[in-house]
Structure formats: structure tokens, C-alpha cells
Amino acid sequence: MKTADIFDEKTVFSLEVFPPKPDANESVIYKTLEELSDISPDFISVTYGAGGGKNGCKTIQIASDIQDRYGVESVAHMPCIGLTKEQAAAILDSMQDNGIENILALRGDSSGSVQGDFRHASDLITFIRENYDFNIIAACYPEVHPESSSCADDLKWLKHKVDCGAHHLITQLFLDNSYFYDFCEKARTSGIDVPIEAGIMPVTNKRQIERMVKLCGVELPKKFVRVLEKYEHNETALRDAGIAYAIDQITELITDGVDGIHLYTMNNPYVAHRIYDAVQSLITVTSCARA
Ligand code: FAD
């Protein structure tokens, strides 16, 4: 099923996982997926390391297994930086052969100058639209992409991605819902009319959030910093506070009519289950109102 169609029927609740590292035990991801599939998410997306290395094969295999073994729709991420058109076509052919219908088309990041046929995610989206029949999803940034010179510029290019063929957007994580509301209002005013899913990351350890802030330029609200400072030396308390914080964010978003929630699970089924259990009835009520 194409993910863009699910939004007509319900408030979407989806999950993100990442493939195991090359030297890790492969069976762990399948145990994780088995536990996550109990939630019956609308789809599970699988990340893909930029550069098109071996990690990509795992992404395709896992995305395919999510559908075949667990009966859950899947989305394969695909960063295009550094790829030639021939390499991109080989990846896309493999996704098609493995029954994958949904692709999160991304640029990816690189530390130096790179060769390749794609400069931006929009180039990959156009390439896919011209040659394949995938449902295309794209990334967006409520706090503006770190490389953008302004919010207006970022929105202009986001609109371009949608015009090129993205049917559904997923946001980068944010910890202050006001950024999301502001972003959605501006996106709608700019003529972006596809579903926008809110990407929520439950922060359960300090190192994780420090890395994310550095990488994504996400602001830490005062309320969140207080939680972090209070519980940073107690693993269980910080985990529980992080779960409670994510539940608060999601409760507000669903109540205010968000199209969907995309939970960055960090491959942690325990955390995903606690969050889902707390918001499941809200999803049911808002989905009934939508149907
Ligand atoms: P783009 O859409 O190309 O945007 C990058 C910058 O260029 C922005 O500033 C934008 O405003 C500008 N821009 C866009 N189009 C144009 C244009 N045509 N001309 C000029 N400027 C333009 N990375 C991975 O490597 N693997 C993953 O699996 C992965 N999953 C992700 C999932 C989500 C939901 C998100 C939000 C991000 C993910 N990323 C992943 C990270 C992503 O690759 C980075 O954020 C990257 O810096 C930008 O990717 P993009 O697709 O948004 O790029």
C-alpha cells in the first residue's frame, strides 16, 4: 500500500528502525521487528547509510521482510549523495524486485566534496518519478535545514520537492511543538498540501540528544533541559522522563489534528510500546472522526 493513501483513513502512527551494524548479530533486528509489529504500526521505515555501501542491501532486505514476515507496510530510505544514475537505478530495481512500494527519497550528508549525478533529494525524486512507480516520501525541517540561508528558502525547496513528486513528508525530530505548528502553517500557505507526519524522538539518554543537537541543530526547550539536568544521572528516571515528554508532545499533536506521528524508535521496542499504549486510544478516536 502506498503510505500517502493511509492518511485519508486515519491518524497515521508509524515507526523508524535502523539496520544492524555490519559486525552485529543479525537476529537482534528481527526480534526488535517482531516486538514492534505487535503495535500494528501503519508502516515501519528503515534507514539507509549515505554513500550506497553494503548497508543498503540490509535496508532493502529488512524493508522487504517487514512486509513478508510481519505483514506491516514498509518504507525504504534512500540517500542519493555520491550515486551515479546507474547506481541509483540498481538500488531502485532491487527495491522494486523485493516488493517495496514506498521510498523516503533523501539527499544524505557528506563531509567533503562528492561526485555523483544527484545534488539534492529533488533530483532523486524526479529520477524516480520518470522511471518508476514508487510512492515517494521526503524529509522536512520544522527548525529549518542547517544549510538553508532562511526559512523562506527552505520552504521554497520543500515545495519544489513536492512539485517533483513527493506525496508525503516526514519531519526531522523536534522537541518544541510550536516549531511544528509554525512550520505547518507556513507550508500550507506556500501551497504544500501533502500529509506532514511529525517525527518524534523519545530522548532516553543524554549522549543521544547531544549528538542529535549537534547533527540536526534542534533547539532544546527549557522544560526539556530541566528534565535532562534533573535525571541525567539515573538511567531509569531519564528514560521514564523521556517517554513522558514524548507522550506529552504526541498527545498535544494528535489533539490538534496532526496528519500522523512517525516515532524514531532507536530500535527500542520497550520505549515504543510504552508510548503507543499511552496514545493508542487518542489515535482511535481521531481516526474515527476522520473516516
Ligand atoms: P535536500 O532536500 O536536498 O535539502 C538539503 C538542503 O538543500 C536544504 O537546505 C534545502 O533547502 C536545500 N535544497 C533542496 N533542494 C534544493 C535545490 N533543488 N536547489 C538548491 N537547494 C536545495 N540520512 C541518511 O543518510 N540516511 C537516512 O536514512 C536518513 N533518514 C532521514 C529521515 C528523515 C525523516 C529525515 C528528516 C532525515 C533523514 N536523513 C537521513 C538525513 C538527511 O539525509 C539530511 O538531513 C540531509 O542533510 C538532507 O537531506 P534532504 O533529503 O532533506 O536534502
Which range (39-48, 110-119, 168-177) has the least confidence? 110-119
Nearest ligand 1 atom, CA 172: 36
Tell how far the Cα of 276 is from the centroid of ligand 1, in angstroms. 28
Nearest ligand 1 atom, CA 141: 36
User: Model confidence at 205, in pLDDT bands (50, 70, 90)?
Assistant: confident
Q: Is the pLDDT of residue 230 over 80?
A: yes
Contact by Cβ (8 Å): 120, 157: yes
- Ligand 1, atom 33: closest residue by C-alpha: 139
Domain count for the chain: 1
Residue-wise DSSP of 137-182: EEEE-TT--TT-S-HHHHHHHHHHHHHHT--EEEEPP-S-HHHHHH
Tell how far the Cα of 83 is from the centroid of ligand 1, in angstroms. 15
Residues with CB under 6 A from ligand 1: 47-50, 77, 79, 104, 106-109, 120-122, 139, 145, 147-148, 154, 157, 160-161, 170, 172, 199
Mean pLDDT of the chain: 94
In a domain, 137, yes or no: yes
Q: pLDDT value at position 111?
A: 77
Q: Is the pLDDT of residue 21 over 80?
A: yes
In a domain, 3, yes or no: no
Nearest ligand 1 atom, CA 173: 36
Distances in Å between the Cα of 190 and the Cα atoms of 4, 89, 166, 179, 193 are: 20, 32, 15, 16, 9
In a domain, 155, yes or no: yes
Within the chain, where are the H helices?
3-6, 27-37, 55-70, 85-97, 121-131, 151-164, 177-189, 206-216, 222-231, 235-255, 269-290
Residue 38 lies in domain = 9-290
In a domain, 213, yes or no: yes
Lookup: cell for 280: 493508542
In a domain, 1, yes or no: no
Q: pLDDT value at position 107?
A: 97
In a domain, 218, yes or no: yes
User: Model confidence at 260, in pLDDT bands (50, 70, 90)?
Assistant: very high
In a domain, 2, yes or no: no
* CATH number of the CATH domain containing 110: 3.20.20.220
In a domain, 206, yes or no: yes
Tell how far the Cα of 171 is from the centroid of ligand 1, in angstroms. 11
Q: Is this structure's pTM higher than 0.95?
A: yes
Phi, psi angles (nearest 5°) of residue 185: -60, -45
